[in-house]
Structure formats: C-alpha cells, structure tokens
Structure 1
Amino acid sequence: MIELKSPAEIQRMHVAGRFVAEVLSEVGRLADVGVNLLDLEHHARGMIERRGAESCYWDYAPSFGKGPFRNVICLSVNDAVLHGLPHDYTLRDGDVLTADLAVGVDGWVADSARTVIVGTAAEEDLRIVRATEEALEAAIDVARPGNRLGDISAAIGAVARDYGYPVNTEFGGHGIGRTMHEDPHVSNQGRAGRGLKLRPGLTLALEPWFAATTDRIVYDADGWTIRSADGSRTAHSEHTVAITEDAPLVLTRRALEDPAATGGSTRATTSSGPRGERGPGRDG
C-alpha cells in the first residue's frame, strides 16, 4: 500500500533527513587513510544515540540478508556497493567508500547514501561516483506530479547508458516514510511514461548505484555485503525526496554538496571528465 504524506508529515521527515545528512557529512569528513570502518560505525552510533534517534538498520532482518544486522550504518569499500557490514578494515589511499544510513526521528524515517574517495582519487573512480550523482539529480528532476515512476527509472538508466555503465535491477529505490522500506519499488532502469503516476505526498528514496563493468552481484560470506561480480569498482548515491505541488523537495540534502569537501575523502565533483560513448527488484 502506498501512503501519501501530508505537508506536515513531510516536514517531520525533513527533520530526520537533515539529521541523516549531518551524520553522512561527518562520516565523509572522518573517512581518511588509516581510519578503521569500526571507528566510523561507532562515531555514527554515538551521533544517533545523542540525538535520541533510532537506527533503521539495527536488528533489520529481511529475506535477502543474513540477519539480524547489528550495525547502524552500511559501509562498503571498492567493489562492495550495498549493505556493507562494518568490520575491522583500515581505509587505504584510493579506497572508494560508500556510506548508507537510514534513521528514524520521532517516528519518521529518512534514508541517504554517498560515495567518497579516500586520499588520492583515480579518475575512473571519480567518474563512476559522478555518474551516480548525476543520475540521482536527473531522477530528482523528474519527480514531479503528473510524471510516472518509469520516468524516474528511465532518467537513471539514461545517465548510466551515457557513461557506459550497466545497470542492475535486483536492488533499487523505494517508498519511505513511517518505515524504511515502503511501496513502491523504484528500479534504476525503466521506460518513461509507464508505471505509477506521481502525486504530491509521495516520498521516495531514490538510489542509483553502478558497477563499472557488470550488472551482476555476489554476496560476501557475512550474508550482507553485496559486491560487483567481477570485482570492478562501484558507487552509490541516494536521497529521500518528497513530491510536492511545486518542485521536488530533497529531504536529505547535505549542506556542502559541492567540491569543497573536507577531510581525507574526495568528492567526485572535484574532477571533470568525459562521459562514455552512448552506447523484478528489491530495495537497497
């Protein structure tokens, strides 16, 4: 069942969204060469506890995972892209780190993800991160009343094709609100003009994620961490978005989504480069 939110309820989700953005900004700032993933997990946990918020991941046990998940943030490195289980790993120069966080505040949830590059950034890694960010912005741009769900999926898929990246459709975006995963599922590839008509009050977590050279995935032995099947680098960008009568409202927008990133991590937007030649899902 799809639940449309009132303007007041969207504002309550926005409170959660601003907090999610704050945590992800802090994790990105702290991600540096020599930092352990468990240190990032503990820092995020402390922020959530001090805020009096509730992790959507703790004790989460979906059918596709080896649950329950006993961490508050997903941290995925290099060829890992989704549901990365924080573990004893020390970040190295050039690592690609994706942080994904969903938190509830006063009964309303927001979900967001960002990929940063630790230390020295390779151009091909900057490129794939930039592709997911552009795909996310393209998806947000068409998240307007009267358009259809397929327009969002098609916008994401078009950017992937422009860059030459394949698209996995097993995991994608989803509805969100009182819980982390609500209807509808939002594929990262689809046909424009098809599917559910978008209406004000619909709230969605949009999350393009790509692997450089494959659309196939494999799981780690931990039962959670999802990697590209061929070991190629990955990236993932996600925002919680509310469809309103006017422009789409991004509830998890970070204060500094620009080239002026701090700390040891490098934003994809710090370098520009050419795109490539044109050439039944679950929720992430």
Structure 2
Amino acid sequence: MTRVARAGTAAVRTAVAVLAAGLVVTSAGCSPADRDRPLVAVTTNILGDVVSEVVGDAADVAVLMPAGADPHSFEVSAREAARLRSADLVVENGLGLEEGVARHVEAATADGVPVFTAGDAIDVLDWRTEDDSGPDPHFWTDPRRMAEVVSALDDALDEVGIDAPGADGYRAQLDALDGEVATAFATVPADRRALVTNHHVFGYLADRYGFRIVGAVIPSGTTLASPSAADLRDLATVIEDAGVPTIFADLSQPARLAEVLADEAGIQVTITPLATESLTATGPASSYLGMTSSNAEAIVDGLSTHE
C-alpha cells in the first residue's frame, strides 16, 4: 500500500485545531554578524518546509507564515519584516500569492537582499472564469513542478554561498510522491474526475493528473475575492449537471461559503476540508510531502465513494 493510501483524512481535519502562531525560526539570531549560519527567510510555510529539507543544517530558515494561515492574507510584524530585510536570501512563492507581505519582499529587494521567486521556475498556468483570469500561484499541487522549483532553488542557494545538501534526495522523494499520487488518482473513474473548490487552487493538479475544474465557490485565484449571488447560482447549476459529489474547501478558510451554496441551492454535496494552501502544525499535513499525500487520498475518497 502506498503512502497515499495510508494517509487518513480524519487526521488532516483534526490537525487544523492546533495552529502555530507567529514567526517560525529554526534557530535564533539577530544581525548577520551575530549569526553562525546564513539565514534564509521564507514567506510561506509550504516553501519553508521544502527549503528546510533542502538546506538541512547549512542555514537557518525563518518561515514568516504560521501553520494554518491563509497565504493570500497573512501579514507580518515590524520585527518579522526587519528580519526579512536582514536575510542572506528571501524565498517567496510569487505569482501574486503573498498579497499581505509583498511590500516587505519589495523592501528587502530594495535593500539588496537576493530574492528567489519560486513561480519564476515553473511553466505557469492561468486560472480562468468566464469573466476573469490570472496567473495561478498554486503550483505546489503538482509535485513535478515543485521538483523544478527545488532545482532552481539549488542554483539560487549556490549563488549566495549556501549549501543545499538535501536537494538531490528531496527531488527523489518528489518523484516518488508524484508516482504514488498518480497511482491513487488512477482509481477515480473518468466521469468523476471533476473538482469544485472554495477558490481556484487545483489547476496544476488537474493539469498533471487529468481532472476537470468544474468551478469554485469563490471564482478567483485568491481567497480575498467574494462570490456574488449569481456566481453561486451558476455554480450550483454546474455542480448538478456534472454530478459532483464533493466540494473541497481549504482548512485555512471556513467552509461557510460552500455550505451556503449547498443550503441555498438545495444541492446535496459533501464538504471535505483539505490542507491545500497551508501546512498544519501537526499531523500528516505538517509537511509538504504529507500534505500532498493526504490530500490525494481525501480527493480519491471524496470522488469515488459517494453515489
């Protein structure tokens, strides 16, 4: 049985109850002169986990985004912003994801801090609706694209004199993860490979594994947008026509909108929470590899077992 098959969705749901708060730092340190090791500051906790695996003990890793937070809206304190500007390298997702901290990354760039933008390393897809579109920042839902990010990160670390002893091994784990997820998704019948989420988050997953994006409760690539009544009615019609049994809502956002859709439109769907945009403090979704595995198992369950 694969790691995907072993991961439990109940554990993912439980993990959201325990959220980390504040700045996550692998070791203390103030000014560059005081540090024994270089500092890599990372905007999101998903990339923070990946960076930590890649650099190992070669650098300190400061992760700005706490577990369970929304990457579109989280903000940082003045102290955290100052730490960002004193780093040897800043790692950001880019593609418009970190809307609450973008200005701080720009300030670090203006101060001469090297910035690695993960979105620059991949073939970017667009999220699209009938009325709008934009670059999709959620590339991590495809492990192969994350492997491309790791390769580019390896080069960026080398440019600033930081070793990446875990890069090769982590890329191997990503390759294995991709194979396991593909095997798990192969069990979902073709006519059930339709996804509805609280906002457009699974474009890369759909592109890699052959799913259809039916729609999103929030018709946007960001959680900061809001659906109109017409949006909800249109989505309800699409859900009924496609026979979608489950709406997948991110753990960092309440499932209220999806529940309103089900209640007001009178459609019977299951609301399944997934850790899609943030790691959890504990449980299988507390690492990028575990999050991807457990989400795959939850999607298989949500689309395959409901009649």
Q: Rg larger in 1 or in 2?
A: 2
The structure showing larger relative contact order (alpha-carbon pairs under 8 Å, at least 6 residues apart) is 1
TM over 0.5: no
TM-score (norm 1): 0.28
Q: Report the structure, 1 or 2, having the larger strand content.
A: 1
Q: Report the structure, 1 or 2, having the larger helix content.
A: 2
